[in-house]
């Protein structure tokens, strides 16, 4: 088999890249080691920056997003029961949209299927070859038969544990990482959300988040130790703990119910540098991980592949390598700004093992500064709704 761009990974990053290239007439093949049902079964966040929404529109998959997505003009922060709303639209004229990552993936899958573009699921033993020269290829096994794809470029959109980054010689790549000593215990429940916008809450007992997926499905989180076992948390215990960490009005209006999904997500910051190795590019979780606090994971992946698609289209249309040569530096600049913002939100909203009375006063001062300073509030709004690439 032969194609122009072989994409490893059929998550939202790989599918969006494939769709953007397809719209520009660039042939792609996507390889995914899991089944289609498994990919769609992943429960992920879904706060989309305005730029991500615009990119999905460009890819021609925005119809259901605009019909079902919830446009939010701002968010609320709560510190020991004291709540304040930040109005992004009033501050900088931008918004975010709540639309589940699963639904983004579904829309991209359906568009690719309708176009007849090739996606190979359950591809085993994927290996990357020759990307340091001008004849890269990808080998894989499907139904016991070995196959090879000859291509011009390979893009690794296969996540933190994927084969793409692991294929890069250790001497050629540098990684930066911070692992946080806590995770988020989250539940999904078919009940109306407690508020129209997200509520991020800091409490001495730990962080909490009130979020949603739709007008009838809610997502809630509480901070727990990194080694916490989800089996130790009944639904009743979760709801009791959540009520302790939010303000009284929110606690009184919570509509509880049986969880339909419950899991603990670890928190990690991770960046790999560079993101280009000859004819291999890394994007999305293969390139970086951010804590979920700033809602940057999917949005960073989208901006990565948006930039990479532009660069590859320029290469084929104009025979110019300027875009692909500049890809790594261009996206890493935005990645590190998002890492900073996610780290900052994590640091002010969570209780760390070393948090003492002085540290909590500093966190409180940060909250008070945010709500009293238009400049600080605008900075929050700019970063949360998405910085330009």
Q: Write out the catalytic residue numbers.
A: 72, 200, 292, 296, 384
State how far the alpha carbon of 135 is from the alpha carbons of 128, 279, 280, in Å.
Answer: 11, 9, 11
* Nearest in space to 182 (alpha carbons), one of 353, 43, 348: 353
Exposed, middle or buried: residue 58 (CB in 10 Å: 0-12, 13-18, 19+)? Answer: middle
* Nearest in space to 137 (alpha carbons), one of 6, 319, 325: 6
- Rounded to whole angstroms, how far apart are CA atoms 168 and 250? 49
Within the chain, residue ranges assigned H as helices are 12-23, 36-41, 50-58, 63-68, 88-92, 101-115, 163-166, 235-245, 248-253, 297-318, 322-349, 357-372, 374-385
* Nearest in space to 299 (alpha carbons), one of 383, 197, 222, 377: 383
Residue 157 CB: number of other CB atoms within 10 A?
31
Looking at the DSSP assignment, which residues form a beta bridge with residue 179?
Answer: 268
Listing DSSP states for 134-185 in one string gives T--EEEEEETTEEEEEE-SEEEE-S-TTSHHHHTS-GGG-EEEEEEEEEEEE
Which tokens in the block code for residue 112? 């690719």
Sequence-ordered list of residues with C-beta below 8 angstroms from that of 136, at least 6 positions apart, any chain: 6, 128, 129, 130, 150, 151, 152, 153, 154, 278, 279, 280
Within 216-296, residue ranges assigned H as helices are 235-245, 248-253
- Rounded to whole angstroms, how far apart are CA atoms 375 and 353? 31
Which tokens in the block code for residue 164? 């793409």
- Rounded to whole angstroms, how far apart are CA atoms 248 and 214? 23
Which tokens in the block code for residue 374? 């238009």
Sequence-ordered list of residues with C-beta below 8 angstroms from that of 232, at least 6 positions apart, any chain: none
- Rounded to whole angstroms, how far apart are CA atoms 33 and 121? 6
């Amino acid at each position: 088999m032969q194609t122009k761009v072989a994409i490893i990974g059929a998550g939202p990053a790989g599918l969006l890249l494939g769709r953007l290239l397809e719209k520009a007439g660039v042939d792609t093949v996507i390889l995914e080691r899991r089944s289609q049902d498994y990919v769609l079964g992943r429960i992920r966040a879904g706060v989309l920056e305005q730029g991500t929404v615009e990119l999905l529109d460009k890819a021609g998959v925005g119809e259901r997003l605009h019909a079902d997505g919830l446009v939010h003009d701002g968010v609320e922060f709560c510190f020991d029961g004291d709540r304040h709303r930040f109005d992004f639209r009033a501050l900088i004229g931008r918004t975010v949209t709540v639309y589940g990552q699963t639904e983004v993936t579904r829309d991209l899958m359906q568009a690719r299927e309708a176009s007849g573009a090739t996606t190979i699921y359950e591809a085993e033993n994927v290996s990357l070859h020759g990307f340091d020269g001008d004849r890269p290829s990808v080998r894989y096994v499907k139904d016991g038969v070995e196959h090879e794809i000859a291509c011009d470029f390979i893009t690794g959109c296969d996540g933190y544990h994927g084969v793409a980054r692991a294929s890069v010689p250790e001497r050629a790549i540098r990684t930066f990482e911070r692992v946080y000593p806590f995770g988020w215990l989250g539940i999904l429940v078919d009940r109306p959300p407690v508020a129209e916008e997200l509520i991020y809450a800091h409490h001495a007992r730990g962080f909490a988040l009130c979020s949603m997926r739709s007008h009838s499905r809610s997502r809630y989180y509480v901070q727990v130790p990194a080694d916490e076992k989800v089996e130790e948390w009944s639904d009743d215990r979760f709801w009791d703990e959540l009520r302790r960490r939010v303000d009284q009005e929110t606690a009184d209006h919570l509509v509880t119910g049986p969880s339909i999904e419950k899991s603990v997500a670890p928190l990690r910051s991770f960046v790999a540098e560079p993101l280009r190795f000859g004819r291999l590019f890394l994007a999305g979780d293969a390139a970086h991980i951010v804590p979920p606090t700033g809602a940057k994971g999917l949005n960073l992946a989208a901006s990565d592949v948006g930039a990479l698609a532009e660069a590859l289209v320029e290469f084929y249309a104009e025979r110019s390598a300027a875009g692909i040569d500049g890809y790594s530096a261009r996206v890493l600049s935005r990645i590190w700004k998002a890492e900073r913002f996610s780290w900052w939100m994590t640091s002010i909203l969570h209780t760390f093992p070393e948090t003492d009375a002085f540290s909590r006063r500093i966190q409180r001062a940060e909250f008070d500064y945010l709500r009293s300073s238009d400049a600080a509030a605008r900075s929050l709004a700019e970063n949360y709704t998405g910085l330009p690439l």
